[in-house]
């Protein structure tokens, strides 16, 4: 399998109410079985998941973090690690002030899977091609420095590639291996989008046809509290 990761240039500044599918199609021509990766920030902008903050106070979004958290797991200085209503465990409940007007902060989309389905449906309706869509966001990780992009919403692609019951290269049966393919594709897409280049969409081409299908990030990818050894 050979993958291509293609940045999508020319989307311009996304505004409240914009049709993301239409913006993507005006900038590029996806083909069937492409995976279109869209950053959370432009989804939040288009869906008006924005709140007012004090541009003079770098901590004025902290009360909003508390409101967006269903549970706070850790605090250290100004950093809050919390669980969102979606079930994501992340810094500051996903509330973000980067790449926005100084008086704005972005919240996570209310239902990122639904957002992905809407974009996918729009591309199929307007261009007649069947793609998968991933909504991505930047998360930190326990035990490791640095951040990486992960999937917070998806449509048309299986979140998990379940390899349990198959065999490895030496014939040993795999017992626990489940690959978070949507996270891996989101991370690959981020390599061409960057954090400061204003490229909020990328296309991953050449994905194995077996990876396409139904699924939900919240239902399939988030480990339940009963299975999570660290909550």
Exposure letters 173-204 (e unless 16+ CB within 10 A, then b):
eeeeeeebbbbbbbbbbbebbeeeeebbbbbb
Assign residue 128 a region (left: φ > 0; alpha: ψ between -120 and 50; beta: otherwise). Answer: left
- The CA-based diameter of the chain, rounded to the nearest angstrom, is 61
Residue-wise pLDDT tens digits, 34-58 = 999 999 999 999 999 999 999 999 8
Residue-wise pLDDT tens digits, 151-206 = 999 999 999 876 565 666 666 755 656 788 999 999 999 999 977 678 999 999 99
Residue-wise pLDDT tens digits, 128-158 = 999 999 999 999 988 899 999 999 999 999 9
Rounded CA separation 212/200 (Å) = 22
Residue-wise pLDDT tens digits, 87-139 = 999 999 999 998 888 999 999 999 999 999 999 999 999 999 999 999 999 99
């Amino acid at each position: 399998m050979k993958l291509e990761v293609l940045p999508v240039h020319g989307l311009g500044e996304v505004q409240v109410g914009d049709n993301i599918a239409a913006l993507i199609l005006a900038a590029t021509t996806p083909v069937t079985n492409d995976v279109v990766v869209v950053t959370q920030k432009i989804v939040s902008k288009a869906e008006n998941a924005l709140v007012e903050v004090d541009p003079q106070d770098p901590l004025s979004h902290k009360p909003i973090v508390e409101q967006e958290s269903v549970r706070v797991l850790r605090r250290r200085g100004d950093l809050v690690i919390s669980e969102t209503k979606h079930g994501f465990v992340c810094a500051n409940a996903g509330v973000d002030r980067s790449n926005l007007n100084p008086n704005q902060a972005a919240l996570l989309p209310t239902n990122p899977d639904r957002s992905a389905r809407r974009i996918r449906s729009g591309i199929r309706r307007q261009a007649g091609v069947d793609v998968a869509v991933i909504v991505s966001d930047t998360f930190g990780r326990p035990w490791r420095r640095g951040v990486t992009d992960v999937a917070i919403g998806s449509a048309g692609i299986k979140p998990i590639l379940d390899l349990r019951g198959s065999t490895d290269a030496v014939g040993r049966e795999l017992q626990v291996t489940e690959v978070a393919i949507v996270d891996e594709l989101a991370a690959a897409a981020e390599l061409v989008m960057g954090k400061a280049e204003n490229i909020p969409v990328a296309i991953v081409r050449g994905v194995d046809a077996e990876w396409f299908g139904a699924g939900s990030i919240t239902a399939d990818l988030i480990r339940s509290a009963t299975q999570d050894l660290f909550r």
